[in-house]
Structure formats: C-alpha cells, structure tokens
Amino acid sequence: MIWFILAGLLLVSPVAAQDMPHPLVIAHRGASGERPEHTRAAYELAIEQGADVIEPDLVMSSDGELIVRHENEIGGTTNVADHPEFANRRTTKTIDGVPTTGWFTEDFTLAELRSLRARERLSTLRPGNTAWTDETILTFQEVIDIAREGSTRAGHVIGVAPELKHPTYFEQTGLPMIEPFVAVLRANALTAADSPIVVQCFEVGTLRTLDDLVEAPLAQLMSSSGGPADLPDTTYARMVTPEGLAELATYADWAAVETAMIIPRTPAGAAATPTTLIADAHAAGLKVIVWTFRAESNFVPTDYRDDLPGWIRRFYELGVDAVFSDFPGVAVAARP
C-alpha cells in the first residue's frame, strides 16, 4: 500500500501501488509551461490537470534550508536584480566545472529569499507566464504540503519527485544536503519503499549514500551527453549500456533519461529509430522515466511539431514507466 500524510495524520491510501496510473505523469517543476516554474501556482495547476507527481528541484540557503529553485543561481528565476540591497552579492562561481555569474541561493538566508519573487525563466518562449509576479520562493516542506493539500482535494495520493541539485558542490561550500533532506523525508514519513516519492540526482555518490539511509525509490538522472559531476571518469553513455544499467540497479530503482536517449534525432531533427534502452533497463530490474516533454517547437522533433500528445504517446507505446512534462495536462490526456 502507498503511505502519505493527509490532514496531518499518517494514513494508508486505499489505492494499491499496482493500481496507480501507469505510466506516471510527473509535473516538471509543476505545470511550468503555463505558470512560472517551482511556484505554488504551477504546482496547484499541475494537480488540477491530473498530474500524479509534482517535482521540486532543491538547492540550499545560507542557513541550511532546502529551497526550491531550478538552480542555485537565481538571477534568471527571481527579481533579485531589482533589489539594490543585494547588488553587491552578484558574483561569479564555478558550479560543476562551469563558471556562472549571478546571485546564488547559498549567499542568502531563507528570510532574505522570502523577500524575493519568482520570475518566468523562459520569458521569450512563455510570455504568458510573466503575468505571475507575486509568487514566493518555496521550501521543500512547502511543496510536500502542497502535495498533501492536493491529495485531499483530489481524493487520491499526489507524490513528489525531488531532485537534489549539485550536492557535491554544496558539500564543498559547507552546506551538505543529504542530512537535512533525509530529515524532511523522515518528518513526513517518506522513507519507505512504497512511499509516494521518487528521489532524483545526476550524481551517483549521493544516491548511493541515500540508498544506505532510506528505502524510498531513487532515480539516477542521465543526459545524452556528459557524466556525473562526482565521477569525472564516468559517462552517462556508459551508464546506459546493459552492464552500466546492471550496476545502476544496485543502488537505484529508476533510470531517468533524456528523450534523445530513447528516440534519437536524425540530422534533420526528426525522430529516429528507438534505442533498446527501455528494454535494457527493464531487464536490469529498473523502471524508466523520460524527460522532458515541452510543447514549444524547438523541444519537439520536426515530425511532431504541433503534436506534443503524439510525441508523448510514442514513449508510452515503447513502454516507459513515467514521463516528465511541463504540460502535465497534455501528458495525462495522451496516456492510454
């Protein structure tokens, strides 16, 4: 059975795990195609649209709070540039080997971050989202609370899929993420194997550590290029070979991969022949999440322009177990 906190009490959901929707629809940072990402408005809309799970990306404040933002650099996702009192905190840092200039969450207390307001990150692509200008910065606990409240309204469990962003970097800055993260999971009874949660990370070491601390489902994020920041000699391409997936299955429950790792693109930008990744992952005992489905034309193969439902259905037909979408309502409607 699936456990969750409803109305302040630990309850057993009447929905058995095998009866949950399949594939799962995970609202990527909420309904971020229609509201600014990682905001209450985005998460609540996603729940209204039928998402099974909502996703927060987690970074750290200077006082050790788990903050929900796409990245720890917040110049593009908040109005921090409009606050003259924070002008002197603009700086350049190297995050996972990449020099980045802006304002960083680890230089602000939670109280200071509360004084900011979220802003649409992709304002050119999603100008309609710029109308939402009064959304505050959320904590991880608040997203769990939103899922709890949404579960009460919907009458069924809404899960959460937190992603730990740059945990090695934060540890090096004196703000380790794992201990406060696990504390939140324990406080919300989200550490069991059947908890309505999927914990994600691009780094391997963090997931291995979490595998020793909790039974909650873990997802290894992988992209079509590069490799984990904490294992510079490892590539994601090697990790999705049958041998790599067998090793991955020793500490994780899900392989969470970019769309192009399942359906590559031709040189002309069309959908090419699918790979064997889904079958290989299933053979290793892993479930498969694919990310991220967006409606805008530059995110979709040329032969699926203006047909996001059809593009998502291709992956459903191939047997994926979950999808991330900025437009969860579309993914729900396309589900078999």
Name the more confident of 8 and 286.
Answer: 286
**What confidence tier does 8 reach under pLDDT thresholds 50, 70, 90?**
very low
Residue-wise pLDDT for 269-327, tens only, equals: 999 999 999 999 999 999 999 999 999 988 999 999 999 999 999 999 999 999 999 99
pLDDT number for residue 19: 52
Domain positions in the chain: 22-334
Beta-carbon-side half-sphere exposure of residue 118 (alpha carbons within 13 Å): 26
What residues form DSSP beta bridges with 92?
A: 101
Mean pLDDT, to the nearest integer, of 9-26? 57
Calculate mean pLDDT across residues 4-29.
Answer: 58
Average confidence (pLDDT) over 242-249: 98
Question: Is 3 a residue whose pLDDT tops 70?
Answer: no
The mean pLDDT of 194-205, rounded to a whole number, is: 97
pLDDT range class, residue 14, cuts 50, 70, 90: very low
Taking the whole predicted model, whether its pTM rises above 0.85 is answered as: yes
Question: What sign does the dihedral 302-303-307-313 (CA atoms) show?
Answer: negative
Q: What is the mean pLDDT of residues 91-109?
A: 97
pLDDT greater than 60 at residue 5:
no
What pLDDT score does 20 carry? 65
Give Cα 238 to chain centroid, integer Å: 23
Q: Which residues are registered as beta bridge partners of 53?
A: 26, 159
Give me the DSSP letters along 58-117.
Answer: EEE-TTS-EEE-SSSB-TTTBSGGG-GGGGGG-EEEEETTEEEEE-BGGGS-HHHHHTS-
pLDDT at 13 over 50: no
Does the pLDDT value for residue 7 go beyond 70?
Answer: no
The overall average pLDDT reported for the chain is 93
CATH class label, 22-334? alpha beta
